[in-house]
C-alpha cells in the first residue's frame, strides 16, 4: 500500500487508531488527521504523542468538518454509521478499516481466527503450535498488539496469527488470509448490528478474498456462503467433520491423535479450539510430536473460568471474559457443583430468556450487577414454571454497582462445596474499564478474602475494608479505552 503524498483521516484514537496513525506517518503520508469525539487524559496523552510525530489531532468539540481527504481509516470501535464516519462517507471519502489497512502492509502469510467465542484461546494455541514447529510467528489483532503495530516486523516472520472481531471485518476490501478460521456464531453485539444476519455477514468477510490454495477451517454447524478456499471442517457436537471430539479424544480424519485429559483445557468448547490448532498443524505439515507438546503444555489465559481462590469450602472462579450468552452457557455447563452466579453488565440487546432453564438447573442463587440487573431480575426471578424445566424458581439478588458488596453477597449465599462464578454474559463498560479490569477486581477481592481467612478474620470484614479502595476504580467506558478488546 503506497500512501506517499496522501492526506488521510484516522477515525478513533483508541490503541488501534493510535497505531494506524503511527504507521501512516512512518510510511510517508502527506498528512494524517486523527479525529475522536471523546476527551480525557488518555486521549490527550495519545494526541500529544501523535502531534510530536507530525499528525493533526482533533478531540471532542474540536473535531472539524473538513472532508478533503484521500482516504479515511476507521478504528474498530467506531460504528460505520456513527456521525464521525458518516460525514466523510457522505462526502465520498473512501473508507477502509484499520485491520484492512494493516493487512496491506503485512509481508508474511496470515492465519486469521474469528468466532463469537474462543478466538483468543485459539489464537494462542495456533501460535504455540506453529512456534513449536519451528516457525517465526507474530500474534496481533484483537489480542495484545494492534495489527497496525505488528506489521512492522512482518518481513522477519513466517506467519502472522490474527484474532479478528466482527468490528474489524466490517470494512474489508482486500484482506486475504492464507488460513481463515471461523469457530462458532451465537448472538452478540446486537446493540451494533440490527439482527443476526448483519452480524453473520460481517463475520463472513474473513473468507471474502480467499482463493483456491487458501484454507478455510470452519465449524460444521455454521451456515456459510460458498467458499473458494479449501474447506476443513471441525465439530464437537456429533456432526460429521474432518476433525472431531469423541469420547474425550481429539481426532483428525477419523484417527485419534490426543486425549484432552493430557492437556490443561477441558470441555467441548475448548476441544473446538484445540481442533482448530490441529487443523493448522496439518496445513503447515508440522510434526505430530511438536504439535502434541504445544497443546499439552498450553495453559488458559486469565479471566476464562480461572480458579482464583477458596474460602470456607467455596471455590471462586473468574470468567470475566464471558461477555455474551454463549460464553456464560458454556461456563455453567462446565460445573457439576451448585453455582452462585454473578451476572450482568452493559446491555448489548441480547435475549437471555433461553438461558432460564440452564440457570435454574445449575445455580443455587444469582447475584445481578450493573446495567442489566433489573432486566435479568425480571426475566429470571419471575420466570414462569414452564421456562424452568422442572427446577425451582431462580433466586435472584440485586448486587447493585458495588462490586465488592456483590461478591460478599455471593459468598454468603454459597455453601461449602459450591462455586461462586463470575460469568457476566455482558460487556463490562457500565462499571469497569474492560473485562480484564472486572476480572482483576474480582480476583483481588477473592484473594483478600483468602488472606483474611488465613488470618482468622471474618470474610465480610475483609471485603468491607476492600470495598472502599475498589469503589474509586469503577469507571465507565470512555473512547480512550480499547473498545476492540470485547469486540467479537
Q: What is the mean pLDDT of each run of 10 residues along the chain (488 residues)?
A: 96 95 97 95 95 97 94 92 93 96 97 93 96 97 91 96 94 96 88 89 95 98 95 96 96 96 87 97 97 92 83 93 90 89 94 96 96 96 94 95 95 95 95 94 93 64 50 40 42
106-297: in CATH 3.40.1190.10: yes
Q: How far is CA 34 from the centre of its chain?
A: 26
Give exposure, 454-480, as e/b (b: 16+ Cβ within 10 Å). Answer: eeeeebeebbeebbeebeeebeebbbb
Q: Where in the chain is the domain with CATH 3.40.1190.10?
A: 106-297
Distances (CA, A) of 221 to 147, 238, 241, 254, 288: 29, 10, 9, 18, 27
pLDDT at position 304 is 81
Say if strands 230-235 and 137-141 run parallel, antiparallel, or are unpaired.
unpaired
Among 189, 203, 269, 346, the one annotated catalytic: 189
Give exposure, 249-285, as e/b (b: 16+ Cβ within 10 Å). Answer: ebbbeeeebbebeebebeebbbbbbbbbbbbbbbebe
pLDDT digits 0-9 by tens, 126-180: 999 999 999 999 999 988 899 999 999 999 999 999 999 999 999 899 999 999 9
Residue 306 pairs in a beta bridge with 318
pTM reported for the whole predicted model = 0.72
Among 119, 203, 346, 348, the one annotated catalytic: 119
pLDDT at position 454 is 73
For residues 322, 323, 324, 326, the Cα torsion angle rounded to the nearest 10 degrees is -20
Placement of cell 495456533 in the chain = 126
Whether 119 is a known active-site residue: answer yes
Whether 142 is a known active-site residue: answer yes
pLDDT at position 464 is 52
The 3 state secondary structure assigned to the chain is CCCECCEEEEECCCHHHHHHHHHHHHCCECEEEEEECCCCHHHHHHHHHHHHHCCEEEEHHHCCCCCCCCEEEECCCCCCCCHHHHHHHHCCCCEEEHHHHHHCCCCCCEEEEECCCCHHHHHHHHHHHHHHCCCCEEEEECCCCCHHHHHHHHHHCCEEEEECCHHHHCCCCCCCCCEEEECCCCCCCCCCCCCHHHHHHHHHHHHCCCCECEEEEEECCCCCCCCCCEEEEEECCCCCCCEEEECCEEEECCEEEEEHHHCCCCCHHHHHHHHHHHHHHHHCCCCHHHHHHHHHHCCCCCCCCEEEEEECCEEEEECCCCCCHHHHHHHHHCCCCCEEEEECCECCCCCCHHHHHHHHHHEEEEEEECCCHHHHHHHHCCCCHHHHCCCCCCCEEEEECCHHHHHHHHHHHCCCCCEEEECCCCECCCCCCCHHHHHHHHHHHHHHHHHHHHCCCCHHHHHHHHHHHHHCCCCCCCCCCCHHHHCC
Q: Where in the chain is the domain with CATH 3.40.50.720?
A: 7-93
Tell me the backbone φ, ψ of residue 10, rounded to 5 degrees.
Answer: -115, 125
Contact 291, 133 (CB under 8 A): yes
Q: Where in the chain is the domain with CATH 3.90.190.20?
A: 306-486
Residue 292 pairs in a beta bridge with none
What lies within 8 Å, CB to CB, of 63 at 6+ separation is 35, 36, 37, 84
Among 117, 142, 235, 482, the one annotated catalytic: 142
Contact 193, 199 (CB under 8 A): yes
pLDDT at position 465 is 47
> What is d(CA 378, CA 393) in angstroms, rounded to the nearest whole number?
12
CATH number of 7-93: 3.40.50.720
One of 1.20.1250.20, 3.40.630.40, 3.40.50.970, 3.90.190.20 is the CATH number of 306-486, namely: 3.90.190.20
Placement of cell 491423535 in the chain = 257
pLDDT at position 457 is 47
Amino acid at each position: 500500500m503506497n500512501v506517499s503524498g496522501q492526506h488521510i483521516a484516522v477515525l478513533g484514537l483508541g490503541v488501534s487508531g493510535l497505531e494506524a496513525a503511527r504507521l501512516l506517518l512512518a510510511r510517508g503520508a502527506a498528512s494524517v488527521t486523527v479525529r475522536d469525539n471523546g476527551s480525557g487524559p488518555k486521549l490527550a496523552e495519545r494526541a500529544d504523542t501523535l502531534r510530536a510525530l507530525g499528525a493533526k489531532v482533533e478531540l471532542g468539540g474540536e473535531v472539524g468538518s473538513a472532508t478533503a481527504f484521500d482516504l479515511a481509516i476507521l478504528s474498530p470501535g467506531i460504528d460505520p454509521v456513527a456521525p464521525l464516519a458518516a460525514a466523510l462517507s457522505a462526502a465520498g471519502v473512501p473508507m477502509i478499516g484499520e485491520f484492512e489497512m494493516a493487512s496491506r502492509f503485512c509481508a508474511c502469510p496470515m492465519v486469521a481466527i474469528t468466532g463469537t467465542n474462543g478466538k483468543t484461546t485459539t489464537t494462542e494455541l495456533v501460535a504455540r503450535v506453529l512456534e513449536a514447529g519451528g516457525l517465526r510467528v507474530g500474534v496481533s489483532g484483537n489480542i495484545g498488539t494492534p495489527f497496525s503495530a505488528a506489521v512492522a516486523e512482518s518481513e522477519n516472520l513466517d506467519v502472522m496469527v490474527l484474532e479478528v472481531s466482527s468490528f474489524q471485518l466490517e470494512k474489508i476490501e482486500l484482506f486475504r488470509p492464507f488460513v481463515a478460521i471461523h469457530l462458532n456464531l451465537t448472538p452478540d453485539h446486537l446493540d451494533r448490528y440490527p439482527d443476526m444476519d448483519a452480524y453473520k455477514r460481517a463475520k463472513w468477510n474473513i473468507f471474502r478474498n480467499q482463493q483456491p490454495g487458501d484454507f478455510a477451517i470452519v465449524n460444521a454447524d455454521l451456515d456459510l456462503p460458498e467458499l473458494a478456499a479449501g474447506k476443513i471442517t471441525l465439530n464437537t457436537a456429533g456432526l460429521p467433520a474432518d476433525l472431531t471430539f469423541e469420547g474425550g479424544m481429539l481426532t483428525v480424519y477419523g484417527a485419534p491423535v490426543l486425549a484432552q485429559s493430557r492437556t490443561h483445557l477441558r470441555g467441548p468448547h475448548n476441544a473446538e479450539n484445540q481442533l482448530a490448532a490441529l487443523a493448522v498443524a496439518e496445513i503447515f505439515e508440522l510434526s505430530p510430536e511438536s504439535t502434541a507438546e504445544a497443546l499439552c503444555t498450553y495453559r488458559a489465559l486469565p479471566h476464562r473460568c480461572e480458579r482464583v481462590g477458596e474460602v470456607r469450602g467455596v471455590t471462586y472462579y473468574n470468567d470475566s471474559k464471558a461477555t455474551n450468552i454463549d460464553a456464560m452457557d458454556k461456563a455453567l455447563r462446565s460445573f457439576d457443583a451448585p453455582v452462585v452466579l454473578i451476572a450482568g453488565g452493559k446491555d448489548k440487546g441480547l435475549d437471555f430468556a433461553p438461558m432460564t432453564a440452564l440457570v435454574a438447573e445449575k445455580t443455587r442463587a444469582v447475584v445481578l450487577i450493573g446495567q442489566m440487573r433489573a432486566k435479568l431480575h425480571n426475566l429470571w426471578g419471575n420466570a414462569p414454571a414452564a421456562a424452568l424445566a422442572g427446577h425451582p424458581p431462580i433466586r435472584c439478588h440485586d448486587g447493585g454497582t458495588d462490586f465488592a458488596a456483590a461478591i460478599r453477597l455471593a459468598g454468603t449465599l454459597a455453601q461449602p462445596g459450591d462455586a461462586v462464578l463470575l460469568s457476566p454474559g455482558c460487556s463490562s463498560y457500565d462499571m469497569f474499564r474492560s473485562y480484564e479490569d472486572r476480572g482483576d477486581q474480582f480476583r483481588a477481592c477473592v484473594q483478600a478474602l483468602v488472606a483474611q481467612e488465613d488470618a482468622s478474620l471474618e470474610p465480610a470484614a475483609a471485603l468491607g475494608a476492600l470495598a472502599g479502595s475498589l469503589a474509586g476504580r469503577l469507571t465507565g467506558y470512555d473512547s480512550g479505552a480499547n473498545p476492540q478488546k470485547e469486540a467479537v
